[in-house]
Amino acid sequence: MRQMRRLGPLLLAACALGAVAVATAQATPPSFYNCVRSNSGGWEPGCLTQNRGGGYERTLLAPDEKVTFSSKIGTTELVGGELAAKCTGGSAAGDTNGPTEVVKIVAKLTGCELVGLGCKIKSPSGAAGEVVSVNLKGKLGAVAEAEAKSKTGLSLEPESSGSTEFATLEGTCIATSHVTFKTTTSRIIGEIAPVNTFGTTGELIFKRSGTAQVIKTFEGASETNDNLEAFGSKVGLEQLTDNLTYAEMLEILW
């Protein structure tokens, strides 16, 4: 069997979750808002309304303001020209970092193996089939409506540059093979929803078309983010279920 080289992009699907700063063509980029008590005593529809005496209003997150979030990840697939990998579930957690960024995202995928080969994939410290990501960061941005109904994306990439070994192959795979993640090149964008409504839950969706990502870049960006690589070739990543839970009411507004 061909020696495996890279499987880093699999971690990016956890999405739990965010990217190099990417400019968009929008005058007002999508941003995180929370709902805070109003000094004026007014209140806004969609914000907290149960205590109208004090009132609440929509407020842009302050620079570096942290709101913790977690996610429950469904099936994740990574498909190349000749080989494919699949994880049956997982979880992730991280923080917002001001109005447009997320940081310190760590994702753990479970039930990971090479499809049809019986080869379990694992992180050095994990059990068989467990893959734990490096720290990831991300940023909100506008995407084409043809690529995402919400027209809003969250890009994810490693916080640190360089090449990091995070997983090995077991079972019938070559025992000495290492799966490495080239953090200098990999970036992926998923659709984040809902937008323009307050809540404590949301979702992050990654879709592929063959071995390419459906969302290729933020609108107005010069570079293409469709550059995931594993098995020594280009791959597409798909994760249709990643349910987000925020520690407080948030709205992605733009």
**Residue 138 pLDDT:** 92
**Residue 84 pLDDT:** 85
- Residue 207: partners with Cβ closer than 8 Å, 6 or more residues away: 191, 213, 214, 215, 238, 240
Report the domain count for the chain.
Answer: 1
Domain that holds residue 228: 9-33+62-253
Question: Does the structure show a pLDDT above 60 at 69?
Answer: yes
Question: Does the structure show a pLDDT above 50 at 47?
Answer: yes
Is 170 domain-assigned? Answer: yes
At 171-201, the pLDDT tens digits run 545 443 444 434 345 688 999 999 999 999 9
Within 13 Å, how many C-alpha atoms sit on residue 203's CB side? Answer: 13
SS3 60: strand
Is 97 domain-assigned? Answer: yes
Is 46 domain-assigned? Answer: no
Which pTM value belongs to this model?
Answer: 0.82
The secondary structure of the chain in percent helix, strand, coil, rounded to multiples of 5, reads 0, 45, 50
Give me the count of residues in the chain: 254
Is 118 domain-assigned? Answer: yes
Is 151 domain-assigned? Answer: yes
SS3 48: coil
Q: Are strands 84-87 and 76-79 parallel, antiparallel or unpaired?
A: antiparallel
